[in-house]
């Protein structure tokens, strides 16, 4: 799911290195028809799904006489394929809330679920983890940080004795492209600047989240659900080289870390082959060339999104509201609407305005998500109107 994005492209690269081990059964994308033509002709999946009927029709026409791939349209087709009995593993790499329903379908069907979609756990953690347990799914985190935690934690990180042996999880952050900038400097940031990550090649939405440090807030919530931890048991540490992907501090004084070059093919390959390891096409880490590893505390004054997430995770439904408001705000910023420093303001207003119970079903999650998105859209609209009024006054 999300075959044409950065995670999807990296996944296809790993799969292409092991044709004797893996067969691509189905791929999904939003509206990137040209990219899907290339994927379908190269990998010959049995099915492809586009987000809308127009894109699906264009893809099917382009593949006529070239590929036997059958093309469908819409979220229901994605949900059906994720639960298909012939599917063993599902890479959940659709960005945003829209990836929740297909990922839930894979969890309920007991698949090996390679989770690269943060929002599934952030917005619907209780619902999602219940689906994983009830369906008997194998949930393997693909975010580089959570994959690192998974590798460094005991074999059964949720076993009581193992939970007690871990003192703290250290979640690393690169600091993004604006590490060290003041709040005043951030007011003039452009979308292209925010998407120019110094270490990772990512999609535009997640790149902005990294630049605001919201990505670490989302990952904090994700780690809490994945490993049954409280927010106080997870510490965010800025590590600009992005060589150490996360660390586990044990009660005996030991600290285990997973290191590697910043390349998503490493966690993808580990998720696909676990408990084995396969070639991912990633260059070996040369510590002499790296030279030094630096660490510092995050600046939540200049980048308040992390602080907002740390607060929201303690409030019923708070992360669902935060996630929805963030998606709306980031979308507006990328479209040239609100300023970079308005993103956290939109989120804070929505968190203050919306109170809710913790969602206990997919329907409840979708309702709360809708409320938060509407509220965020209103806040964005008011900000843009004020900007227009000031411009007219000049």
Domain harbouring 327, CATH code: 1.10.1740.10
**310 within a domain of the structure (yes/no):** no
β-strand 166-173 against 138-141: which pairing, if any? unpaired
- pLDDT, residue 203, reads 83
**251 within a domain of the structure (yes/no):** yes
Both 172 and 284 in one domain: the answer is yes
Q: Which of 379, 302, 292, 394 is nearest to 337 (CA)?
A: 379
The pTM assigned to this predicted structure is: 0.91
Query: Is 118 known to sit in a ligand binding site?
Result: yes
Q: Which of 153, 158, 107, 145 is nearest to 128 (CA)?
A: 107
Which of 142, 170, 186 is the C-terminal boundary of a domain? 142
Task: Provide the number of structural domains found in the chain.
Answer: 3
End-to-end CA gap in the chain: 48
- pLDDT, residue 160, reads 59
Both 250 and 319 in one domain: the answer is no
Which of 300, 333, 366 is the C-terminal boundary of a domain? 300
Both 192 and 114 in one domain: the answer is no
Q: Are 74 and 51 in contact (CB under 8 A)?
A: yes
Locate 384 and state its tokens.
């843009």
Angle between helices 318-334 and 214-227 (to 10 degrees): 150
Query: Is 174 known to sit in a ligand binding site?
Result: yes
Query: Is 335 known to sit in a ligand binding site?
Result: no
Query: Is 5 known to sit in a ligand binding site?
Result: yes
Q: Tell me how crowded residue 200 is: count the other CB atoms within 10 A of its CB.
A: 16
Q: Could you read off the pLDDT tens digit of each residue along the chain, which spans 394 residues?
A: 999 999 999 999 999 999 999 999 999 999 999 999 999 999 999 999 999 999 999 999 999 999 999 999 999 999 999 999 999 999 999 987 889 999 999 999 999 999 998 878 888 999 999 999 999 999 999 999 999 999 999 877 666 567 789 999 999 999 999 999 999 999 999 999 999 988 777 789 989 999 999 999 999 999 999 999 999 999 999 999 999 999 999 999 999 999 999 999 999 999 999 999 999 999 999 999 999 999 999 999 999 999 999 999 999 999 999 999 999 999 999 999 999 999 999 999 999 999 999 999 999 999 999 999 999 999 999 999 988 877 776 6
Both 354 and 284 in one domain: the answer is no
- pLDDT, residue 376, reads 98
Query: Is 296 known to sit in a ligand binding site?
Result: no
Both 90 and 119 in one domain: the answer is yes
Both 159 and 277 in one domain: the answer is yes
Query: Is 117 known to sit in a ligand binding site?
Result: yes
- pLDDT, residue 158, reads 64
**135 within a domain of the structure (yes/no):** yes
Both 155 and 285 in one domain: the answer is yes
Q: What DSSP line would sit under 132-180, residue for residue?
A: HHHHT-EEEE-SHHHHHHHHHS-SSTTSHHHHHHEEEEEEEE---TTTT
Which of 300, 329, 358 is the C-terminal boundary of a domain? 300
**1 within a domain of the structure (yes/no):** no
Locate 194 and state its tokens.
């925010």
Tell the residue number behind the tokens 């260059």, with chain if given: 283
Query: Is 314 known to sit in a ligand binding site?
Result: no
Query: Is 197 known to sit in a ligand binding site?
Result: yes
Query: Is 86 known to sit in a ligand binding site?
Result: no
Both 19 and 135 in one domain: the answer is yes
The parent domain of residue 184 ranges over: 149-300
Q: What is the dihedral of CA 72, 74, 79, 84, to 10 degrees?
A: 0
Both 133 and 165 in one domain: the answer is no
Query: Is 216 known to sit in a ligand binding site?
Result: yes
Both 288 and 228 in one domain: the answer is yes
**110 within a domain of the structure (yes/no):** yes
Q: Give Cβ neighbours of residue 360 (< 8 Å, ≥ 6 apart).
A: 126, 127
Both 83 and 225 in one domain: the answer is no
Query: Is 147 known to sit in a ligand binding site?
Result: no
Query: Is 7 known to sit in a ligand binding site?
Result: yes
**307 within a domain of the structure (yes/no):** no
**306 within a domain of the structure (yes/no):** no
Domain of residue 138, CATH code: 3.40.50.720
Cα atoms in the 13 Å half-sphere on the side-chain side of 96: 17
**381 within a domain of the structure (yes/no):** yes
Region for 387 from its dihedrals, namely left if φ exceeds 0, alpha if ψ lies in -120 to 50, beta otherwise: alpha
Q: Are 146 and 223 in contact (CB under 8 A)?
A: yes
Both 162 and 263 in one domain: the answer is yes
- pLDDT, residue 200, reads 73
- pLDDT, residue 16, reads 96
Q: Tell me how crowded residue 245 is: count the other CB atoms within 10 A of its CB.
A: 24
Query: Is 199 known to sit in a ligand binding site?
Result: no
């Amino acid at each position: 799911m999300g075959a044409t994005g950065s995670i999807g492209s990296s996944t296809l690269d790993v799969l292409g290195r092991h044709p004797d081990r893996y067969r691509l059964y189905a791929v999904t994308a939003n509206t990137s028809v040209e990219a899907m033509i290339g994927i379908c002709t190269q990998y010959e999946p049995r099915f492809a799904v586009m987000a809308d009927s127009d894109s699906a029709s264009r893809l099917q026409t382009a593949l006529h006489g070239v590929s036997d791939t059958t093309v469908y349209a819409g979220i229901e087709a994605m949900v059906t394929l994720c639960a298909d009995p012939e599917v063993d593993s599902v890479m959940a790499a659709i960005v945003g809330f829209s990836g929740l329903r297909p990922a839930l379908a894979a969890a309920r069907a007991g698949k090996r679920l390679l989770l690269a979609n943060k929002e599934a756990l952030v917005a619907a953690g209780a619902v999602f983890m219940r689906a994983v347990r009830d369906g008997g799914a194998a949930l393997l985190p693909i975010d580089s940080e959570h994959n690192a935690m998974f590798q460094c934690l005991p074999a059964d990180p949720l076993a009581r004795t193992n939970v007690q042996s871990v003192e703290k999880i250290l979640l690393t952050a690169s600091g993004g492209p604006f590490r060290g900038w003041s709040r005043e400097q951030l007011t003039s940031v452009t979308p292209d600047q925010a998407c120019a990550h110094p270490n990772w090649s990512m999609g535009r939405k997640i790149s902005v989240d990294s630049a605001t440090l919201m990505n670490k807030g989302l990952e904090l919530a994700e780690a809490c659900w994945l490993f049954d931890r409280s927010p106080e048991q997870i510490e965010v540490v800025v590590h600009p080289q992005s060589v150490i992907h996360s660390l586990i501090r044990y009660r005996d004084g030991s600290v285990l870390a997973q290191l590697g070059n910043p390349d998503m093919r490493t966690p993808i390959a580990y998720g696909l082959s676990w408990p084995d390891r396969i070639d991912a096409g990633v260059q070996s880490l040369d510590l002499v060339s790296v030279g030094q590893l630096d660490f510092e505390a995050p600046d939540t004054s200049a980048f308040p999104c992390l602080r907002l997430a740390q607060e929201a995770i303690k409030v019923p439904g708070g992360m669902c509201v935060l996630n929805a408001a963030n998606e709306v705000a980031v979308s507006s910023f990328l479209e040239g609407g609100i300023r970079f420093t308005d993103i956290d303001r939109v989120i804070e207003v929505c968190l203050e305005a919306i109170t809710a119970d913790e969602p206990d079903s997919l329907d409840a999650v979708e309702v709360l998500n809708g409320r938060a998105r509407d509220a965020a859209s209103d806040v964005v609209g008011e900000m843009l109107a004020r900007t227009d009024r000031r411009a007219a006054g000049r």
